[in-house]
Structure formats: C-alpha cells, structure tokens
C-alpha cells in the first residue's frame, strides 16, 4: 500500500493540468489506464481556442485561460501554445436570421467579433462557393492550440513539482476505509484522503467503482475526417470555417483539411467506430459549401466527448461521498479551458473561494458543482 494526499484518476488534459496546478499541495499521484497520457479525447481534438464556444461557465473558463495560453510562465514550454486561427461562421441566404441572432450574442461576449459580407468571407476563404455564402461572422482572435506542447508541458511541469505519474494503471476498485480512499490498480494500491475523478468519458464508471451516485454523464460520438487539399489551394492561413447552424466545420490540420458534420450521437462509453453516415454527410456539406470534389476521406475516426444535461462541466466534491472530487463532463472544451479549469479545481481542493477573474465573468462554483445534478 502506497500513500498519497491526492490521487488523480485519468491522464488526459484535465488530470494532467490539475496535477500541475496542485503545487505544494502534498503528495499527488496521477494514475492513467493507458501506456501514455492524453491518448483519448485529448489527443484527438480540433485544437481550437474560441471564446464564443459553449455555455457561460465554459466561456468564462476559456477567457480566463487566455493570458496563460498566450503568455505561459517562463520555462513552461519551449515555444508558443497558440497560433492565430480566426473562426469564420458562415451563413447561406436562408440562414440570415440565425446569423443575426448569433452576432448579437457573440458580440456581447467578445467585442472583437465582427460581421462580414459574402465577398469578405470569400476573400478570407477563397474555397467557399459564392452561391453558398451570403454573410459571415469573424472571431479574429481565435487560435489553434498546440495540444501536444501544452499536454507535455503540463506533464513535465507536474513531475517537476513532485507529482508521481503512473501509466498502465487502470483503476479497478475504489473503497473508503477509515477516512481514506483505497485506490486499486494492477500497478499498485494507493491510500489517499482525496480521489479526483478525471477519467473523461469513463468518469461515470469510476464513480460506480466508488459507489458514488451517477451524474447522468452521456458520451457523444463525433466523426472527424481528413482529406488532402486540392492542388494549388493555399490553406495555411485559412480560417476555421464553421456553419452557423453547426452543420459542419472545416479547418487546416498539418497540411491537410480536417472536417466533420459536427455530429453528436449519444453512445455507450468506450472506443467508438467512425459513423459512416456522419462522414458522408460531412463530405456532402463541405462539397456544397466549398465546391471541393471529395472522392472519399483519406482517414476518418470517431472520438467521444461527454456531457451532462446542462452541458456545463462537473467540478467539485461529491455531496454524497467524502473526499470524492469530480473533474468531468468537459465536453468539447477541456483543452482551451485547461489553465483556468485546473486552477479553479485546485483552489476548490484547497478550500479557496472562486477567483475574482472567474466571478467577474459571471462564473459561479454552483454552475459546475456536482450537487446541481442530484
């Protein structure tokens, strides 16, 4: 039996960033089921930083993460974490009402948002078909995130701060004995005052192991495809293109084009296979909007994102299980929110108040507390 103060279960971006944020907070152990960190949702995201994405708490956590991502602490990484990738929300003529509504709500949040005419959209993204684009909205300060750099910086920083990271350590049993959690895995057994459930899409299963009531976590499948861009098309500076109704997105990714019909299909937890119909819908929508001739994606895969009913994250101690802390239901945003998310979670673990930089953005701890789901 090994001892720790806090055991974090799950080495995706959420668990790893928290291990880093827990500086001088005692003996921290992170247990990851796989043989490497970040191989699940974290390694397969669209890697975008967008301040208009998601519910109020997500937007607040995103905005509050901006300063860290733009100017990481000295020595945290060897290169920048963000690079410019404006988001262009596009609308057909029959989507203009939707565009106007979206513009009003986005401008209230992000003052740099501005409306564009159809020709202005095509100047930014010449592959868009004239007949398809009536107008757009530009989020000029959105960025690509270098996820690998961010993830490894958190991992290395956590180790430097004394956290022990153990891979190939799937947690198989959890029990509470004499005021401590006993955490069992094939890699060993740990005893700790606090366990943090950062197991991503498998968080509900981890709670079940501990006898903790469910929070209604629902894994949702998203199918993503990659194609080579047409010869001669310069895509390096192309914006992230997002249909205003969320029917598809398209972005440059390492010399290729990444796209999806942005499907959200409820599925059982576990590794999902790509949905061929969703991939076909994505091809059709990209072809309609861009006039690209896509004979078939060079590669398609599916990733699960997990949400609870209100689509807010679940962060905090479970009211029904002493020392059981949730860091879950992070949906489509745990990478762009990682700095503020992990800082807020570490503060809760220390018993601190919500920082002013979050409350000033309308965020409250109650919005993300597990108690709201019971």
- Judge whether 18 and 206 are in contact, CB under 8 Å: no
Coil/strand/helix, residue 339? helix
Q: Which residues contact 259 (CB under 8 A, 6 or more apart)?
A: 224, 225, 226, 227, 248, 249, 250, 251, 282, 286
Residue 82 makes contact with ligand FAD by CB under 6 A: no
Residue 225 makes contact with ligand FAD by CB under 6 A: no
Residue carrying structure tokens 């700095």 = 339
Residue 335 makes contact with ligand FAD by CB under 6 A: yes
Least distance (Å) from ligand FAD to the CB of residue 146? 12
The CA distance from 328 to 182, in Å, is: 21
Least distance (Å) from ligand FAD to the CB of residue 197? 9
Reported as half-sphere exposure (CB side, CA atoms, 13 A), residue 36 has a value of 9
Coil/strand/helix, residue 197? strand
* Span from 3-11, 72-80, 117-125, 362-370 in contact with ligand FAD (CB under 6 A): 3-11
* Span from 42-50, 91-99, 115-123, 158-166 in contact with ligand FAD (CB under 6 A): 42-50
Q: Which of 6, 7, 9, 102 binds ligand FAD (CB under 6 A)?
A: 9
For ligand FAD, how many residues bind (rule: CB under 6 A)? 40
Residue 10 makes contact with ligand FAD by CB under 6 A: yes
- Within the chain, residue ranges assigned H as helices are 13-21, 56-70, 96-109, 118-124, 147-160, 203-209, 276-290, 338-350, 356-359
- Return the residues of window 235-294 that contact ligand FAD according to CB under 6 A: none
State which residue, 135 or 165, has the beta carbon closest to ligand FAD: 165
Nearest to 200 by CA among 12, 3, 6, 2: 12
The CA distance from 84 to 317, in Å, is: 37
Residue 212 makes contact with ligand FAD by CB under 6 A: no
CA 191 to chain CA mean position, Å: 30
Residue 128 makes contact with ligand FAD by CB under 6 A: no
Q: Which of 99, 125, 194, 202 binds ligand FAD (CB under 6 A)?
A: 202
Least distance (Å) from ligand FAD to the CB of residue 206? 5
Residue 33 makes contact with ligand FAD by CB under 6 A: yes
Q: What's the token pair of residue 268?
A: 């059982």
State which residue, 62 or 95, has the beta carbon closest to ligand FAD: 62
Question: Do strands 143-145 and 48-49 pair parallel, antiparallel, or not at all (unpaired)?
Answer: antiparallel
- Judge whether 185 and 196 are in contact, CB under 8 Å: no
Residue 336 makes contact with ligand FAD by CB under 6 A: yes
* Span from 45-53, 98-106, 148-156, 187-195 in contact with ligand FAD (CB under 6 A): 45-53
Q: Which of 12, 57, 136, 219 binds ligand FAD (CB under 6 A)?
A: 12
The CA distance from 69 to 32, in Å, is: 25
Residue 332 makes contact with ligand FAD by CB under 6 A: yes
Least distance (Å) from ligand FAD to the CB of residue 170? 4
Q: Which of 224, 278, 289, 292 binds ligand FAD (CB under 6 A)?
A: 224
Residue 34 makes contact with ligand FAD by CB under 6 A: yes
Nearest to 148 by CA among 71, 33, 36: 36
Residue carrying structure tokens 């997105």 = 249
State which residue, 119 or 270, has the beta carbon closest to ligand FAD: 270
The CA distance from 361 to 340, in Å, is: 12
- Return the residues of window 312-331 that contact ligand FAD according to CB under 6 A: 330-331
The CA distance from 150 to 154, in Å, is: 6
Query: What is the binding site for ligand FAD (CB under 6 A)?
Result: 9-15, 31-34, 38-42, 44-48, 170-171, 198-202, 206, 222, 224, 303, 305, 330-336
């Amino acid at each position: 039996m090994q001892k720790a103060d806090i055991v974090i279960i799950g080495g995706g971006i959420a668990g790893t960033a928290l291990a880093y944020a827990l500086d001088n907070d005692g003996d921290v152990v992170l247990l990851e089921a796989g043989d490497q960190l970040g191989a699940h949702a974290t390694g397969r995201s669209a890697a975008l930083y967008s301040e208009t994405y998601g519910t109020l708490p997500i937007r607040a956590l995103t905005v509050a993460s901006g300063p860290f991502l733009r100017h990481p602490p000295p020595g945290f990484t060897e290169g920048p974490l963000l690079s410019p990738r404006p988001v262009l929300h596009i609308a057909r003529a029959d989507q203009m009402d939707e565009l106007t509504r979206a513009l009003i709500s986005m401008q209230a949040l992000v003052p740099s948002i501005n409306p564009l005419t159809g020709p202005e959209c095509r100047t930014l993204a010449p592959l868009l078909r004239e007949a398809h684009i009536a107008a757009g909205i530009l989020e000029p300060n959105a960025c690509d995130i270098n996820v690998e750099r961010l993830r490894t910086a958190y991992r290395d920083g956590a180790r430097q701060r004394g956290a022990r990271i153990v891979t190939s350590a799937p947690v198989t049993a959890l029990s509470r004995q004499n005021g401590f959690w006993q955490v069992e895995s094939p890699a060993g057994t740990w005893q700790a005052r606090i366990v943090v459930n950062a197991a991503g899409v498998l968080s509900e299963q981890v709670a079940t192991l501990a006898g903790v009531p469910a929070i209604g976590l629902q894994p949702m499948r998203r199918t993503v495809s990659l194609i080579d861009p047409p010869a001669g098309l310069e895509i390096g500076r192309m914006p992230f293109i997002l249909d205003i109704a969320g029917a598809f997105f398209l972005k440059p990714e390492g010399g290729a084009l990444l796209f999806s019909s942005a499907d959200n299909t409820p599925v059982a937890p576990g590794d999902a296979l790509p949905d061929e119909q969703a991939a076909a819908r994505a091809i059709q929508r990209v072809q309609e909007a861009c006039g690209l001739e896509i004979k078939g994606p060079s590669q398609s895969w599916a990733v699960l994102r997990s949400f609870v009913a209100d689509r807010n994250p679940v962060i905090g101690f479970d009211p029904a299980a002493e020392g059981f802390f949730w860091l879950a239901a992070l949906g489509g945003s745990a990478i762009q929110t990682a700095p503020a998310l992990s800082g807020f979670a570490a503060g809760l673990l220390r018993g601190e108040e919500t920082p002013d930089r979050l409350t000033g953005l309308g965020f409250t701890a109650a919005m993300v507390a597990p108690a709201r789901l019971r």
